[in-house]
Structure 1
Amino acid sequence: MKIISMIPARYSATRFPGKLMQDLGGKTVIRRTYEATVATNLFDDVFVVTDSDIIYKEIVNNGGKAIMSIKEHDCGSDRIAEAVADLDIDIVVNVQGDEPFTDAGSLKKLIEVFKDDHDKTIDLASLMVHITDDEEIKNPNTVKVIVDNTNFALYFSRSVIPFARDKAVDVKYYKHKGVYAFRKAALLDFYRLPMLALEASEKLEQLRYLEYGKRIKMVETDVQGVEIDTPEDLERANKLWK
């Protein structure tokens, strides 16, 4: 299989504009993410996909590979789909631009899912982390996922799922990490299909796949990482980098 990684990168993030160009240990966040992804040695190629001249030049001028988006896009999957439409690939892994602490072990687990899927029952795969902190579980910025007994996703939500009506039941809560591995065909299907009510309501693009009957295999990892969504996250990331 030919496997590449695409890193979608918007400059004007809602909560922290310009976050990908902030300094992290002497290099920008997006450059750290790109270099960490390349360093995993898991991919035939790695690209940053962006709508920003600033981000494009940051990657290319430092020896990396970047692609400029042609159209306006509402989500990272759409941006990637446009970029890979004419590429001869089998699997594309979406690494978030604001996650510079990319974990090779977790990405390898995602890729292995497809190597073992001889009947091609999996359209895409993604990561989840077991969480126990009550505040994190209740936080709408923490996207939760519930799975069936074979770890296929049943639903994603900003709400607390499952709701523990019976406190005696030992329920595990999982946080969804926005790292995806797609079959190319599934990604292009996503790009062509219109948004439906659940995705529009929760503002979670992965729900579009479930609403159209796609199968998402969830892979558990114990690596939390640091997602840089706020200036406080960046401060934590710099401390961790040191």
Structure 2
Amino acid sequence: MDAIINGYSWVGDNEDPHSINIPKVITNERDELVYMSRAALPGFKDTKCAPSRYKKQVCIYAFTREELAAFRGFGRKSELEFSEDIEILRFLELGKTIRMVETQPGSLAVDVPEDVAKVEAALRRAGQVPA
């Protein structure tokens, strides 16, 4: 299959789906990426239609050399990529299919300096770094 692969998991109870540091994922029923945003998506008009949980991006990618060349060959950030600061959106604007694969929750991302302490604490708890 000719598709980009990207991971997602569900936003955890201890995470804020409105955080701009967590890219939220919208997929269709075939688990293909429809859109990704730093805004809490999907939106809703009526609170009875509000999502009970949100999907978030896990930055694990798989793509062919040709797809990477097309990404680079675009020569600049696409409009959506520039606005959201999410590079996978360039592939969407190139018309590529992006297959989203669910991953296990519980990973910690380092997106802002404040995240470093959380990761270091988790590594200490796991015995991976000295106290």
TM-score normalised by structure 1 residue count? 0.46
CA distance in 2, matches of 1:173, 1:202: 17
Name the structure 2 match of 1:159: 39
Change (3 A) 1:221 1:156: same
Name the structure 1 match of 2:64: 183
Off by >3 Å, runs of 4+ in structure 1: 132-135, 229-232
Q: What per-residue deviation string (whole Å, max 9, x for no partner) do you get for residues 127-185 of structure 1?
A: 11111549621111111110000100000111111102232236241111111111221
Aligned partner of residue 39 in structure 2, secondary structure? coil
Trace 1:134-153 onto structure 2 (pairs within 5 A): 136-153=16-33
Paired letter, 1:209:
F
CA RMSD of aligned residues (A): 2.0
CA distance in 2, matches of 1:167, 1:134: 21
Aligned partner of residue 190 in structure 1, secondary structure? helix
Q: What per-residue deviation string (whole Å, max 9, x for no partner) do you get for residues 181-221 of structure 1?
A: 11221111101013321112112111111011001100112
Name the structure 2 match of 1:219: 101
Of all paired residues, the percent bearing the same amino acid is 31
Change (3 A) 1:224 1:132: closer
Paired letter, 1:217:
R
CA distance in 2, matches of 1:134, 1:237: 15
Paired letter, 1:238:
E
> 2:114 matched to 1:239?
no
Paired letter, 2:5:
A
Paired letter, 1:137:
P
Paired letter, 1:197:
E
TM-score normalised by structure 2 residue count? 0.81
Can you give the 5+ residue segments of structure 1 that lack an aligned partner in the other structure? 1-119
> 2:48 matched to 1:168?
yes
Larger Rg, first or second structure (1 or 2):
1
Aligned partner of residue 108 in structure 2, secondary structure? coil
CA distance in 1, matches of 2:110, 2:85: 19
Q: CA deviation at 1:233?
A: 2.2
Q: What per-residue deviation string (whole Å, max 9, x for no partner) do you get for residues 50-89 of structure 1?
A: xxxxxxxxxxxxxxxxxxxxxxxxxxxxxxxxxxxxxxxx
CA distance in 1, matches of 2:96, 2:44: 27
Q: What per-residue deviation string (whole Å, max 9, x for no partner) do you get for residues 107-132 of structure 1?
A: xxxxxxxxxxxxx232x111111115
> 2:14 matched to 1:128?
no
Can you give the 5+ residue segments of structure 2 that lack an aligned partner in the other structure? 125-131
Q: Which has the higher contact order (CA 8 A, sep 6+)?
A: 2
CA distance in 2, matches of 1:238, 1:201: 31
CA distance in 1, matches of 2:13, 2:85: 23
